[in-house]
Chain A
């Protein structure tokens, strides 16, 4: 099932399928290693559920919900 990363629940694991974000943001996320095929999960959400803290490749990154909704993931 393919859903946006922002729809993932805390603790659910998923694999990155594609990233439909703006080129600048895309390049930035890619530099951190958020590449298609990578395993990702949401660790924390800030008080208003935005931003979210995601974990992948042994690191923790905070991104905003509006950027996360364009990252499509596949539940595993």
Chain B
């Protein structure tokens, strides 16, 4: 329950004090501080609103975020006729102002001026984008928006489609009946855009307000009763639209606009007000829609003329795409195609980025060899940090390219339709499918892709289970462990284990999703109502802009934090690095060598310094190999002595339950920035240097042979499987946690991390403890 409240609070940006300073609704138009008038684009989803926005602003738009909510803010300058400039804001696509989702709340906040402090002023005019082919429903939102008394222009979009379908609209009549400019446009074809700009410029001067619904006696009484119950100070601050929303909506966030003392009486106020509507024979939750729709149908009388009906592409296409057999087959083929492309296409730029950063590292480290700290900071901290941010870009860009195509063609709604049943029983919905599938390539684009889910609770639950899908970063761990497993058993078992790891994530995510949706978020009343829009060809400009914006948002908002945290982890792995450690490691090395070679310590010492008796010199025993081994030994000692190493040893008792030794524990902790680092971390702890990869034989040998103090092998079958299960379930990388935080908040990111770490640990413990009983 507490979690539920937080979700609501997170979305809640209403503030009582801000309302005091919002400009009077009737005040004259004053230029805002930026000098530009603000004009907002509002409309239903799938009306072509964003296409219109892109057509009007082009590449000059900027993407930001509304504070406190994960709703992206798109805005950009537009020049009106005669050179007047405005700032155009593209609001999220919504169907009503009932404020059940963060998107709807943002729109309401902006229209009532509550976002002014956060940099989005109350708009000076609104452009309501309507799909002319479905005017009745689209006007519902427009009549709600009209309640805010802001000048409005109605843009009747997709007039070209209407013409094709033999639908004609009497715009003059509409203009007369609503008292505001009504402009037929086709955002896609660029038709009517100049007229629209002219109309915006006109309403900014003339301030045409749209005609509002005339409420019936029941509603009028309800509003009057509500007002009468408020103290006069609050009464003055509340507008009719605020009161309407509180009465009509089941749990309106508007109530937070009341003063504290008023909130106590809110329950009684609402009860009395709603009683007026009940007395009139209607329900407060349906009366609004009924009155608005009857108002709209009166206004639409004789406005629309239907010609000869035409069989549309959409109706034929849906017979195929939603077909029980062919539809499903096409769906899986399409998804396979999409994710195969992500996997193969992203490999090329990822290898390239990796290669460039390796070259850069070598170049930098060769230039400043004599400054070890600066060298390591630049190479292992900064350059690796930047590389670790950019390496995810190709996958994000490619996924968002496909998401853009799936959404703008209208296929996404069909995919959700086909998949909904599968996900609905664990509380998710059909739209969870694509993010979860993309989690198999990489969790980060998957988590970002969950933005396509409207329902905030389902979206959160999806984000929390996406990381369980086995992403590419787990692969090196699986490869390494399965190779050791193969030596202990045989190739079949190793291969089966490898495949099994890819199913563990799904198996675990089902109960986790269920627990979140049923018990923690209680997403019971989330109606999954989804519009199935007309199919249309995607417009390259819209898709590419979206791709660029997602990449930019990731780099700027998540990248900076990932970078900072990578440097922090670097510092924890590097420091304290005392000379003491080096001296001790050197001494240990010399005595070890002396014992194993059965020669005097001083000979080894001299050999390290370069003077080695010819009689002892062999291919394996010369000053070069000795120095290399010594350096690896010292590096291993450094990491053991580093803060991460000390922390690893401190945590060791916890991981001992999984059968891990301290080297694995340090590897697990040290690979937190990115799990694929485990291989090089293990390389260092096993004194082989950091340049090993998952296919290097030295590392297999060293690991397969390594023993506990009592001579028992470390890597037994239960331990190996435990390690794989651990990596299959644990939080994969720093970037993932940061992206979860960006998409939700730090609280949920911490919960996600704790839950994954705990389940991973539990899985490993179970594997080891149960496995040890049998093997």
B side interface size, CB within 8 A = 41
Q: Identify which of A24, A36, A48, A62 contacts B532 (C-beta below 8 A).
A: A62
> Closest residue to A52 on the B side, CB-wise?
B417
- A60 vs B318: C-alpha distance when bound (angstroms): 11
State whether A58 and B134 are in contact (beta carbons under 8 Å apart), knowing that A26-B286, A47-B324, A47-B418 are contacts in the complex: yes
- A23 vs B327: C-alpha distance when bound (angstroms): 34
Interface digits, B7-46 against A, CB 8 Å rule (1 contact, 0 not)?
0000000000000000000000000000000000000000
- A73 vs B765: C-alpha distance when bound (angstroms): 56
Interface digits, A25-42 against B, CB 8 Å rule (1 contact, 0 not)?
111111111011000000
State whether A28 and B532 are in contact (beta carbons under 8 Å apart), knowing that A23-B250, A51-B421 are contacts in the complex: no
- A27 vs B314: C-alpha distance when bound (angstroms): 28
State whether A61 and B532 are in contact (beta carbons under 8 Å apart), knowing that A46-B421, A47-B324, A51-B417 are contacts in the complex: yes
The reply on B293 being an interface residue by CB < 8 A is yes
Q: Is the CB of B322 within 8 A of A64?
A: no
Q: Is the CB of A31 within 8 A of B98?
A: yes
The reply on A7 being an interface residue by CB < 8 A is no
In the complex, which residues of chain A have a beta carbon less than 8 angstroms from the beta carbon of B537?
A: none
How big is the A interface, by class?
20 to 34
In the complex, which residues of chain B have a beta carbon less than 8 angstroms from the beta carbon of A50?
A: 420-421, 424
Count how many pairs of residues, one from A and one from B, have CB atoms less than 8 Å apart in the complex.
Answer: 116
Stretch at the interface among B174-182, B487-495, B522-530: B522-530
State whether A28 and B98 are in contact (beta carbons under 8 Å apart), knowing that A44-B318, A62-B529 are contacts in the complex: yes
In the complex, which residues of chain A have a beta carbon less than 8 angstroms from the beta carbon of B141?
A: 31
Of the A-B pairs whose beta carbons lie under 8 Å apart in the complex, a sample of 30, sorted by A's number, is A19-B286, A22-B525, A22-B527, A27-B250, A27-B285, A28-B98, A28-B529, A31-B95, A31-B140, A31-B141, A35-B290, A35-B293, A43-B318, A46-B322, A46-B418, A46-B420, A47-B421, A48-B421, A51-B421, A51-B528, A53-B318, A53-B417, A53-B532, A57-B136, A59-B134, A59-B137, A61-B530, A62-B530, A63-B529, A64-B420
The reply on B416 being an interface residue by CB < 8 A is yes
Q: Is the CB of A24 within 8 A of B289?
A: no
- A61 vs B531: C-alpha distance when bound (angstroms): 5
Q: Is the CB of B136 within 8 A of A30?
A: no
Q: List CB contacts (< 8 Å) of B362-405 with chain A.
A: none
The 9 closest A-B pairs by CB, nearest first: A30-B289, A31-B96, A25-B527, A60-B532, A44-B322, A23-B285, A33-B137, A62-B530, A48-B421
In the complex, which residues of chain B have a beta carbon less than 8 angstroms from the beta carbon of A67?
A: 527, 529
Q: Is the CB of A29 within 8 A of B527?
A: yes
Q: Is the CB of A32 within 8 A of B137?
A: yes
In the complex, which residues of chain B have a beta carbon less than 8 angstroms from the beta carbon of A28?
A: 95-96, 98, 100, 527, 529
Interface digits, B308-336 against A, CB 8 Å rule (1 contact, 0 not)?
00000010001000101001100000000
The reply on B573 being an interface residue by CB < 8 A is no
In the complex, which residues of chain B have a beta carbon less than 8 angstroms from the beta carbon of A35?
A: 289-290, 293
State whether A62 and B140 are in contact (beta carbons under 8 Å apart), knowing that A28-B96, A31-B289, A35-B289 are contacts in the complex: no
> Closest residue to A25 on the B side, CB-wise?
B527
- A46 vs B530: C-alpha distance when bound (angstroms): 14
- A57 vs B289: C-alpha distance when bound (angstroms): 15
In the complex, which residues of chain B have a beta carbon less than 8 angstroms from the beta carbon of A27?
A: 96, 98, 248-250, 285-286, 289
Q: Is the CB of B529 within 8 A of A29?
A: yes
- A46 vs B429: C-alpha distance when bound (angstroms): 13
- A60 vs B100: C-alpha distance when bound (angstroms): 22
In the complex, which residues of chain A have a beta carbon less than 8 angstroms from the beta carbon of B529?
A: 25, 28-29, 32, 61-63, 67
- A62 vs B318: C-alpha distance when bound (angstroms): 13
Least distance between A5 CB and chain B CB atoms (Å): 13
In the complex, which residues of chain A have a beta carbon less than 8 angstroms from the beta carbon of B417?
A: 44, 46, 51, 53, 62
- A4 vs B77: C-alpha distance when bound (angstroms): 50
Q: Identify which of A21, A22, A53 contacts B322 (C-beta below 8 A).
A: A53
> Closest residue to B137 on the A side, CB-wise?
A33
Q: Is the CB of B289 within 8 A of A58?
A: no
- A51 vs B530: C-alpha distance when bound (angstroms): 10
- A48 vs B293: C-alpha distance when bound (angstroms): 34
Q: Is the CB of B424 within 8 A of A64?
A: yes
Q: List CB contacts (< 8 Å) of B520-545 with chain A.
A: 525, 527-533
> Closest residue to B251 on the A side, CB-wise?
A24
In the complex, which residues of chain B have a beta carbon less than 8 angstroms from the beta carbon of A61?
A: 529-532
Least distance between A26 CB and chain B CB atoms (Å): 6
In the complex, which residues of chain B have a beta carbon less than 8 angstroms from the beta carbon of A22?
A: 525, 527
In the complex, which residues of chain B have a beta carbon less than 8 angstroms from the beta carbon of A31?
A: 95-96, 98, 140-141, 289
In the complex, which residues of chain A have a beta carbon less than 8 angstroms from the beta carbon of B137?
A: 32-33, 57, 59
In the complex, which residues of chain A have a beta carbon less than 8 angstroms from the beta carbon of B531?
A: 32, 59-62
The reply on B566 being an interface residue by CB < 8 A is no
Q: List CB contacts (< 8 Å) of A3-25 with chain B.
A: 19, 21-25
Q: Is the CB of A24 within 8 A of B525?
A: yes
- A12 vs B468: C-alpha distance when bound (angstroms): 44
In the complex, which residues of chain B have a beta carbon less than 8 angstroms from the beta carbon of A32?
A: 95, 137, 529, 531
